[in-house]
Amino acid sequence: MDKIRYKIVMMRILIFAFIVAISLLSLQVRAEEATGDASAAAAFDLLLAGEYEKARAMAAPLAEAGDADAQHLMGYLDEKGLGGPKDLASAIAFYMKSAEQGQPDAQFALGELAYFGDGVVQDDETAAGWFALAERQGHARAKMRLGYMYAKGLGVEPDQRRSLQLFEEAAKLGDAEAQYNLGVAYLTGDGTDQDYKKAAAWFEQAGVQGHADSQYNLALIYDAGLAGKKDPEKTLKWMTAAADSGLTAAYVALGLMTHGGVTGDEAPSAADWFQRAADAGDPQGQFLYAVALKEGDGREKDLAGAIMWIDRSLAAEEGGLEPQTRQEAEALRSQIIAEMSSAGQ
């Protein structure tokens, strides 16, 4: 359990593309729900189609006339520099006009800017305030973000109970990151009773949406049999999904599973998986690929190459090797140096 717990990442700040996708989806819902305002929906459709200049031309007069959804759309276009030059000051002005009318996407956007300090002064209290306004209107991403801030005491007093409440509300609205956070809470018993079955259920809901860490953790649960009997088939299924999502730790895990004969003959070799992890900058993958090169396991024996990958794994700072693995890497390096010396290399 301890090994699994240490592998879990409590939170990853969402990558830009995911933030954009959720923001656009939320805006679409608002546009579809708007009454008597087909032009706002049409402008949004143009945005989705990549017709940014046309979207801007359609939304601009609506925004100037005070339409909150159009103001948010204009703010988004200005913030991202779509259909015109990037203009953060203009974006904030549009967001403010929209947010003051109660538009939750604009409130969330202002919260994001303050939270990340993207072109503005980073301010957790301001971010929490905007997120709170948006979450009261059912904004899933705002609930997730505010839940995290309550968990960490960022801009608000720490409150695990409130944090879990917000995570659950966002999770039920389909937010994958909130589903992941709930899974972590149930897996570790952090702020709630430990429940592996509930953890697996939430990880699966996030996993089917492509959330890599949830896929990885679900694979570990099935591998350890924490939610029932061990299930090698589901372990392989979800670890492969995590690898397909680009999680380097899953490359390493699949390499180890393949080396142990779990994945079958038609799957990539263990060395293939370790090389993928090594090329992606994963220190453990770099060390294990060095081992494969040193032993000639799935690759031609290459002592110089093994030294290179060991040195890279040892040089890693953030997310580097665990102390025991580091000792093993240093010992292997000394062993390879001695072998090269005896061979006159």
Per residue in 261-309, pLDDT (tens digit) is 887 667 799 999 999 999 999 999 999 999 999 999 999 999 999 999 9
Helices and strands, counts by H and E, the chain: 19, 0
Residue recorded with tokens 């088939």: 233
Between 37-51, 56-70, 222-236, 296-310, the lowest mean confidence (pLDDT) is in: 37-51
Instruction: Give yes or no for a contact between 140 and 110, defined as CB atoms under 8 angstroms apart.
Output: no
pLDDT digits (tens, 9 = 90+) for 251-261: 999 999 999 88
* Whole-number Å distance between alpha carbons of 204 and 114: 32
Better-predicted residue by pLDDT, 41 or 23: 41
Q: What is the mean pLDDT of the chain?
A: 89
Helix 176-188 / helix 212-224 crossing angle, nearest 10 deg: 30
Going from the C-alpha of 259 to that of each of 69, 147, 199, the distances in angstroms are 54, 40, 28
CA 275 to chain CA centroid, nearest Å: 23
At 57, the amino acid letter reads A
What is the model's pLDDT at position 41?
A: 86
Residue 342: Cβ within 10 Å count: 8
pLDDT digits (tens, 9 = 90+) for 27-49: 544 544 443 345 888 999 999 99
Going from the C-alpha of 122 to that of each of 12, 133, 143, the distances in angstroms are 18, 18, 19
